[in-house]
């Protein structure tokens, strides 16, 4: 895609990078069209959104670097933009570690970022079990080989990472999450994320009622058989 555009910037957050105070950079545009996505305005297009100049963001990071533990780059899908390399290098020059949020559909880009030591932590979304359900959850015809490649890249990388799945009612059930955990067996972290019906990309999902905490705990317990640190988020 074209130029990396920052559409949202949070100068400090306690929730985007566990255990750290982080600034959060959100870019628009995505190669998926997940019906449950709560960032629909970023997915459809970032052309009409307000753009925050990179120079302004970098200046704020310089001013606050002594108060921050790192920077989270999220979206949308940041790996769509080749300019991400240069931007991350500028952030790293300031002295701040990087956490990247990605859907893992661009393993070549992800691999380059890892090899160049430009990311310190990666959070990869696993939308569904690696079968026909994946295209329903990500909204496009998907090449599962790319997802598998990114999973293996992360597992072999030695860098800190997590896998996470949003538990969407009527689209996923406990057995689906267990199947994902089985595939990821041996991974360090797997987070089961509660679904939020607010501002979903497909507004038909706004009427879905999130799963109960008891059902989430049942699912968490079942996943722990394969990943010890499977947790509800």
What does the pLDDT look like over 82-133, one tens digit per residue? 999 999 999 999 999 999 999 999 999 999 999 999 999 999 999 999 999 9
The CATH number of the domain where 142 resides is what?
3.20.20.70
Does residue 80 belong to any structural domain of this protein?
yes
Question: Is the pLDDT confidence value at 220 over 70?
Answer: yes
For the segment 126-179, what is each residue's pLDDT rounded down to a tens digit? 999 999 999 999 999 999 999 999 999 999 999 999 999 999 999 999 999 999
pTM of structure: 0.95
Note the pLDDT tens digit of each residue in 29-66. 899 999 999 877 776 655 567 789 999 999 999 999 99
Look at residue 226 and tell me if it is in a domain.
yes
Percent of the chain with pLDDT over 70: 97
State residue 41's pLDDT score: 72
Q: Mean pLDDT, to the nearest integer, of 199-208?
A: 90
Residue at 152 is within a domain: yes
Q: What is the pLDDT of residue 48?
A: 62
Domain count, the chain: 1
Burial class (CB in 10 A: 0-12, 13-18, 19+), 170: exposed
* Strand pairing class (22-27; 6-13): antiparallel
Q: Where are the strands (E) in the chain, listed by range?
A: 6-13, 22-27, 70-74, 98-102, 121-125, 160-167, 190-194, 230-232
In-domain check, residue 1: no
Estimate to the nearest angstrom the gap between the alpha carbon of 83 and the chain centroid.
Answer: 19
Domain that holds residue 63: 6-232
The two structure tokens encoding residue 139: 């909204």
In a domain, 60, yes or no: yes
CA distance 152 to 144: 12
- Taking the C-alpha atoms of residue 132 and residue 170, their distance in angstroms, rounded to an integer, is 15
Q: Give 12's Cβ-side CA count (13 Å radius).
A: 9
Q: How far apart are CA 186 and CA 194, in angstroms?
A: 23
Residue 205: in which H helix or E strand, if any? none
Picking from 108, 138, 136, the residue whose alpha carbon sits closest to that of residue 126 is: 138
Mean of all residue pLDDT scores within the chain = 94
């Amino acid at each position: 895609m074209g130029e990396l555009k920052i559409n949202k910037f949070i100068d400090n957050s306690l929730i985007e990078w566990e255990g750290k105070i982080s600034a959060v950079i959100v870019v628009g545009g995505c190669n998926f069209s997940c019906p449950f996505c709560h960032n629909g305005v970023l997915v459809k297009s970032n052309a009409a959104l307000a753009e925050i100049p990179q120079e302004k963001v970098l200046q704020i990071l310089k001013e606050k670097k002594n108060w921050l533990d790192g920077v989270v780059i999220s979206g949308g899908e940041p790996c769509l933009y080749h300019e991400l390399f240069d931007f991350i290098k500028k952030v790293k020059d300031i002295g701040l570690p990087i956490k990247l949020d990605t859907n893992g559909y661009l393993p070549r880009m992800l691999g380059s970022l890892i090899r160049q030591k430009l990311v310190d932590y990666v959070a990869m979304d696993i939308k569904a079990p690696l079968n026909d359900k994946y295209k329903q959850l990500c909204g496009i015809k998907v090449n599962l080989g790319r997802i598998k490649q990114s999973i293996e890249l992360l597992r072999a990388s030695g860098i800190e990472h997590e896998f996470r799945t949003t538990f969407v009612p009527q689209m996923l059930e406990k057995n689906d999450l267990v199947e994902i955990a089985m595939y990821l067996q041996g991974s360090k972290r797997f987070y089961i994320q509660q679904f939020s019906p607010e501002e979903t990309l497909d507004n038909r999902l706004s009427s879905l009622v999130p799963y109960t905490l008891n059902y989430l705990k049942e699912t968490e317990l079942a996943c722990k058989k394969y990943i010890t640190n499977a947790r509800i988020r």
